[in-house]
């Protein structure tokens, strides 16, 4: 714990209107007070007093932004608080105290950790001290994570908001950040509407980005061309089905030859009329020429039967087409 | 002309690249080669004392791949000069030997693997020529045939105007019966080589690509017409020639563009002087994608229909590669049916479907290339361990 903090804090009651709510130097949580906190303060008052620092103009908040905000909303004009004398505690210690307070109460989310990291780094003389200083405030920040957090903070607000609300992952956020503002907004909208999983998001972002480069048009134009709106507006499809349809459409556009080839393979496999227990697998990406048959059986009779079937199959024209692997024009 | 020598400095006209910093390793400070290079280059250059600081600056810069092209390290190669080309698993390799004379390149191809290969990439020239000569002499005294080249970790001719290493190598290889040197380039800096007594031990090679690919992906390189003219110039001086269609890049209409290059090429080049033509489609380790996207955000090249191959590299979906190769091979075979064609890093299926045979049927790819080398470079097969009982007429020749 920062030195002297306990000794220096005096308990007083004050009017929240005297607090400079715009001084956000120690704010690391972005959310406002939840209804539970407001109700609890309405019923029981402020149980844990916020920590403030006296300033020449009044007070500023170190810990307890949400509590003060709740009191303001509830028009409470006498609030208990612990107050530090002006300038007695170094700024870095105040920030550490604010971070620790938030980290202990349910923790910080990714974006809040990024903000806390950025603020700590602003105050450190040597960035190498960050992991130790952060650890003392209850955060585990490696140098690599710190770099990622700084990058996160440099992303457009739309993306930061998505990370904050856990709508997207850090990896997808970075991918999204490589796009133009207009494309970011389009994809953000899509993600917020459909809520695909993190890996689905990455796939959608990377394919749409590629299509926009290949077609020299914006992501919205690419989506318009697919067309994606008919899927999004189709009331017969639930959210998951919409995601599936959209992903298929995007992939077909992104890999026209490959997806056509896959379709032809599936059609040919269908023509083979394989019995249950016999399954034909193509090589990954159709790169190797080796196809795999999986054969399951329960008795020697069944095995013999399927072996005979395989022999017949080897002359099947559909199998020949599969093995010839010619690519069609799209 | 790619490079122009003014009185004391070298100005790279193409690609607007200029070397700004020079580091001279104290170990080579007294070498005559160092003196030769620095006399020609150091006007207007900052001579740096601390290489680590320079490397750190390059590494920490926003665009290390570009920064590294502004900085030249003159040093010595402490490792082997001759290395076996690493190839890649699952695909047929040609058993080539790299002559490691320097690193990185003053030109700027978007797809250049060297951007991701060196950490950080920085222009490097090795000047311990004597050690290289010693290592080559050991190689020359062995019985087997070595196909070697300087164009794997750098372009073979970029330094000719300031340090005529290639010219010295041509002379060193001249008259050897078991080794040939391949100088692979995208420049036209052949002036200093034309009058040399090469005795066909040097194969002058050019990477060829479509005009669209050159314009969009190969910044600072010579145009297709200029490359072909330079090759024609070398042909007229008796040099055997090689051509590399690598990396072939897929885009709508690319098949007819590649076929057009073949027609253009054989209007000027006699097929009889071509030792080999290689083909390879664009492939890359995934880490190169990040570099290409960062440096060329609107480049289409990384957005092809790629799959991840068994060696971990991204490559075009195989049926597409086969289609692309077929278009080029068909055009080449119409005009130059006897030229030796080969694939760089492809498997038997591609060979069979495009060329109609697999290398294994003719003793393997190294053997096919060695045979073509012997025929075109005037070597005596009887003095090469691989072909003791062959005459030139009985060397393995794959069918057309
Ligand atoms: S010419 Fe070769 S070495 Fe130079 S940048 Fe292009 S690919 Fe790289």
pLDDT digits (tens, 9 = 90+) for B9-41: 333 333 344 788 899 999 999 999 998 888 887
**CA distance to B58, B68, B96, B103, B185, per residue, from B118 (Å):** 12, 10, 21, 8, 20
* B109 CA to centre of ligand 1 in angstroms: 5
A105 touches chain B (CB under 8 A): no
Q: Which of B298, B303, B318 sits opposite A287 (nearest CB)?
A: B318
Q: Which residues contact A259 (CB under 8 A, 6 or more apart)?
A: A251, A252
Of A211, A285, A326, which to mutate for an interface test with B (greatest number of B Cβ within 10 Å)?
A: A285
Is A285's CB within 8 Å of B309's CB? yes
Alpha-carbon gap, residue B346 to B34, rounded angstroms: 41
Q: Which ligand 1 atom is nearest residue B113's CA? A: 8
Alpha-carbon gap, residue A45 to B387, rounded angstroms: 97
* B102 CA to centre of ligand 1 in angstroms: 13
Residue of A nearest to B304 (CA): A255
In 3D, which of A183, A182, A199, A201 has the Cα closest to residue A191? A201
**CA distance to A101, B289, B362, B374, per residue, from B359 (Å):** 70, 32, 5, 18
Alpha helices in chain A (DSSP H): 5-8, 35-44, 65-73, 91-104, 110-123, 130-136, 143-153, 157-164, 170-177, 181-194, 198-214, 219-225, 229-232, 239-254, 256-272, 300-313, 317-324
Is B307's CB within 8 Å of A284's CB? yes
**CA distance to A107, A116, A135, A154, B359, per residue, from A143 (Å):** 20, 14, 12, 17, 51
Distance from CA of B90 to the nearest CA of A (A): 9
A255 touches chain B (CB under 8 A): yes
Q: Residue A46: CA atoms inside 13 Å, Cβ hemisphere, count?
A: 28
From chain B residues 317-356, the ones with a CB under 8 A of any chain A CB are 317-320, 322-323, 347-349
In 3D, which of B107, B123, B23 has the Cα closest to residue B70? B123
Candidate of B69, B100, B114, B150 to mutate for ligand 1, largest count of ligand atoms within 8 Å of Cβ: B114
What is the CATH number that goes with domain B88-99+129-394? 3.80.30.30
Alpha-carbon gap, residue B151 to B154, rounded angstroms: 5
pLDDT (0 to 100) of residue B261: 98
Is B307's CB within 8 Å of A326's CB? no
Residue B288 CB–ligand 1 contact under 6 Å: no
The token pair at A229 is 């709106």
pLDDT digits (tens, 9 = 90+) for B373-387: 999 999 999 888 888
The reported pTM is: 0.85
Domain residue extents for chain A: 5-152, 157-254, 272-324
3-state secondary structure of B328: helix
Give φ, ψ of B242 to 5 degrees: -135, 150
Residue B213 CB–ligand 1 contact under 6 Å: no
Is A286's CB within 8 Å of B318's CB? yes
Q: Which residues contact B37 (CB under 8 A, 6 or more apart)?
A: B74, B125, B127, B162, B163
B305 touches chain A (CB under 8 A): yes
A188 contacts A179 by C-beta, under 8 angstroms: no
In 3D, which of B31, B32, B57 has the Cα closest to residue B46? B57
The token pair at A152 is 């996160």
B102 contacts B154 by C-beta, under 8 angstroms: yes
* B270 CA to centre of ligand 1 in angstroms: 26
Query: From the first residue on, what is the mean pLDDT of each consecutive set of 10 residues in chain A (330 residues)?
Result: 56 87 90 92 93 92 94 92 93 94 84 94 93 91 94 95 94 94 95 96 96 95 90 94 96 96 95 94 95 96 93 94 78
The whole-number average pLDDT for the span B197-203 is: 98
The whole-number average pLDDT for the span B153-160 is: 95
pLDDT (0 to 100) of residue B87: 72
Q: What is chain B's mean pLDDT, rounded? A: 91
> Domain A5-152: which topology?
3.90.1530
Interface pTM, i.e. ipTM: 0.85
Domain residue extents for chain B: 88-99+129-394
């Amino acid at each position: 714990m920062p030195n002297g903090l306990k000794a220096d804090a005096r308990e007083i009651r004050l009017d929240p209107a005297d607090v400079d709510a715009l001084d956000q130097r120690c704010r690391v949580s972005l959310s406002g007070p939840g209804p539970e906190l407001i109700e609890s303060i309405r019923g029981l008052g402020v149980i844990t007093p916020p920590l403030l620092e006296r300033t020449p103009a009044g007070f500023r908040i170190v810990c307890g932004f949400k509590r003060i905000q709740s009191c303001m909303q509830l028009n409470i004009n006498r609030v208990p608080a612990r107050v530090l004398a002006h300038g007695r505690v170094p700024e870095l210690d105040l920030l550490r105290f604010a971070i620790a307070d938030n980290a202990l109460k349910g923790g910080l989310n990714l974006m809040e950790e990024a903000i806390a990291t950025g603020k700590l780094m602003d105050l450190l003389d040597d960035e190498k001290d960050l992991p130790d200083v952060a650890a003392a405030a209850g955060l585990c920040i490696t140098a690599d994570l710190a770099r990622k957090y700084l990058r996160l903070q440099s992303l457009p607000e739309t993306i930061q908001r998505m990370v904050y609300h856990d709508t997207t992952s850090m990896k997808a956020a970075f991918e999204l950040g490589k796009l133009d503002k207009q494309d970011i907004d389009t994809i953000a909208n899509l993600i917020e509407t459909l809520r695909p999983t993190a890996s689905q998001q990455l796939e959608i972002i990377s394919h749409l980005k590629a299509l926009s480069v290949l077609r020299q048009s914006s992501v919205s134009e690419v989506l318009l061309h697919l067309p994606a709106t008919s899927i999004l507006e189709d009331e017969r499809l639930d959210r998951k089905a919409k995601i599936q349809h959209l992903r298929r459409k995007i992939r077909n556009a992104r890999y026209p030859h490959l997806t056509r080839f896959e379709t032809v393979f599936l059609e040919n496999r269908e023509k083979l009329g394989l019995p249950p227990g016999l399954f034909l697998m193509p090589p990954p990406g159709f790169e190797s020429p080796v196809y795999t048959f999986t054969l399951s059986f329960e008795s020697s009779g069944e095995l013999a039967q399927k072996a005979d079937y395989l022999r017949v199959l080897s002359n099947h024209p559909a199998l020949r087409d599969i093995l010839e692997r010619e690519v069609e024009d799209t | 002309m790619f490079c122009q020598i003014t009185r004391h400095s070298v100005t790279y006209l193409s690609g607007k690249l200029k070397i700004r910093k020079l580091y001279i390793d104290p170990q080579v400070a007294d070498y005559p080669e160092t003196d030769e290079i620095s006399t020609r280059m150091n006007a207007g250059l900052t001579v740096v004392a601390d290489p680590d600081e320079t490397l750190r600056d390059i590494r920490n810069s926003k665009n290390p791949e570009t920064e590294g092209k502004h900085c030249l390290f003159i040093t010595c190669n402490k490792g082997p000069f001759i290395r076996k080309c690493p190839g890649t698993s699952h695909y047929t390799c040609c058993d080539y030997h790299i002559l490691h004379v320097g690193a990185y390149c003053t030109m700027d191809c978007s797809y250049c693997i060297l951007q991701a290969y060196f950490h950080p990439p920085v222009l490097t020239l090795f000047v311990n020529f004597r050690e290289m000569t010693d290592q080559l002499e050991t190689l020359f005294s062995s019985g087997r045939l070595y196909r070697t080249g300087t164009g794997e970790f750098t372009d073979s001719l970029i330094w000719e105007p300031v340090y005529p290493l290639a010219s010295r190598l041509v002379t060193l290889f001249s008259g050897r019966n078991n080794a040939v040197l391949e100088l692979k380039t995208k420049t036209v800096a052949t002036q200093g080589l034309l009058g040399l007594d090469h005795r066909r031990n040097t194969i002058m090679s050019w990477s060829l690509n479509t005009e669209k690919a050159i314009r969009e992906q190969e910044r600072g390189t010579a145009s297709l017409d200029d490359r072909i003219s330079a090759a024609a110039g070398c042909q007229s001086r008796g040099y055997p020639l090689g051509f590399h269609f690598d990396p072939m890049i897929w885009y709508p209409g690319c098949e007819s563009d590649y076929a057009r290059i073949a027609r253009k090429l054989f209007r000027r080049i006699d097929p009889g002087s071509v030792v080999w033509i290689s083909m390879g489609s664009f492939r890359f380790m995934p880490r190169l994608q990040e570099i290409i996207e960062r440096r060329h955000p609107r480049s289409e090249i990384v957005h092809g229909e790629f799959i991840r191959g068994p060696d971990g590299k991204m490559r075009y979906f195989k049926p597409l590669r086969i289609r692309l190769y077929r278009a080029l091979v068909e055009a080449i075979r119409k005009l130059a049916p006897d030229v030796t064609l080969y694939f760089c890093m492809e498997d038997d299926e591609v060979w069979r479907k495009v060329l109609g045979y697999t290398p294994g049927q003719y003793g393997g790819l190294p053997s096919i290339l060695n045979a073509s080398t012997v025929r075109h470079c005037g070597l005596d097969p009887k003095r090469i361990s691989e072909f003791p009982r062959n005459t030139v007429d009985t060397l393995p020749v794959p069918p057309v």
